Structures are given as C-alpha cells and as structure tokens.
Structure 1
Amino acid sequence: MSENINTATREIVTTLQDRCWHEIYEFHEVFNLSPEEIYEVITLMLHENLIEKIGYRIRLKTSLNNIDLSRLNKMKKTKRPVILETYQPKHLTKVKKHVR
C-alpha cells in the first residue's frame, strides 16, 4: 500500500468506527480523498468482509469478531513519512537569558 492509500484507509476506518451509515462522497468532501483512493480502500474492505455496502452508503459490519477488529486496527496504523527521516529541525527561537 502506498502512503496515500494508508492515509485514506486510516481516515475511512476512523470515520466508520461510529458504526453508522456514511455516504461514499463524504470521504472526498471531508478528507479530500481522490476517487481512486476511496475505491481502493472500499474494495479492500469489501474483500476482507469488514464493511457492508448498499448503493453509495457503507458502514462497518455489525458482526465483527476480534480478528476483524484487529485487522481494522492494523489498517488504521500508518508509517512515518520518509521525508521525516531526513528532517533536521532548526531552532525556531533563540534562548532568552532574561524576561522583560
């Protein structure tokens, strides 16, 4: 999974945790996810039998077991972006020796 798909997965799984029905277009409006990202995540979750879909609405299945919940938790975790591995922070302010 690419970094964008990991982020999309996290956002969708977090939203679906309330166990309510959600419109698929909501993920584009709220999180600015592309249609391709939304499609890939929903297809993956349907394949894993974690969600149910009726028309353009989805929600988590009501009969999830501990293994399913464990998979959802794993899907929510993202990796640290590679760019942060080489990031060198600079001092934002200078240390002041006294207060005025």
Structure 2
Amino acid sequence: MNSYLKICVKEIVHTLLDGQWHELYYFHQKYRAPIKIILESVGELLETGLIIKSGRMIKLKEKHSNQDLKMLNFYFKTKKPNALVYSNKKIEHF
C-alpha cells in the first residue's frame, strides 16, 4: 500500500470513529483527495472488514476482532524518524 493511500485510509477511519454514517463524497470535499484514491481506500477497508457500506454511505463496524484492531494499529502507526531536524540542524539522533 502506497503512503498516499495509507494516509487516506487513516483519515477516513479517523472520521468514522464517531460511529456515524458518512457519504463517500464527504471525504472528497473534506480532504480534497481524488475520488479514485477514496474508492481504493474504501475498498481496502471493506476487504479488511473494518467498515460497512450501504450504497454511497460507509460506517465503522460496531464490534471489532483482534485482527480488526491489528489493522487499525497498522493504519495509525507512524514511522520513527532517524533524527529530529530543526532549522536544518540535527538536534538528536535516535
């Protein structure tokens, strides 16, 4: 999964955490993401079983298995940087 798609999936899941139904076009309006990327992201979430789709509306499942939580963790995990950079000067190495 490329990083742009992963970011889109993360933003969609973050929005769906409110437990409400959302129309797919809402994500295009809010994040200005291309429709193709939104549809690919929704397809990824449907494939993993994290969301429910009804027409053009999607919602996060109400109950999640350990596998679902593992996938949510994957989407929200960030990479640890090699070094912090401030004003083009390295502050600290990890």
- Which TM-score band (shorter chain)? 0.7 to 0.9
Cα deviation code 1:23-44 (max 9, x no counterpart): 1111010111111110111101
Secondary structure, aligned partner of 2:52: strand
| CA distance in structure 2 between the aligned counterparts of 1:46 and 1:63, rounded to whole angstroms | 15
Task: Give structure 2 stretches of 5+ with no counterpart.
Answer: 90-94
How far did 1:16 drift?
Answer: 0.8
Runs of at least 4 residues of structure 1 off by over 3 A?
none
Task: Give structure 1 stretches of 5+ with no counterpart.
Answer: 92-100
Q: Is the 8 A contact 2:20 2:59 kept in 1?
A: yes
Task: Tell me the amino acid that sits aligned with residue 43 of structure 1.
Answer: G
Q: Is the 8 A contact 1:52 1:61 kept in 2?
A: yes
Which residue pairs with 1:29 in the alignment? 29
Query: Equivalent pairs: percent with the same residue?
Result: 36
TM-score of the two chains, using structure 1 as the length reference: 0.74
TM-score of the two chains, using structure 2 as the length reference: 0.78
Alignment RMSD: 2.4
Higher relative contact order (CA 8 A, sep 6+): 1
Task: Tell me the amino acid that sits aligned with residue 57 of structure 1.
Answer: M
Q: Is the 8 A contact 1:13 1:76 kept in 2?
A: no
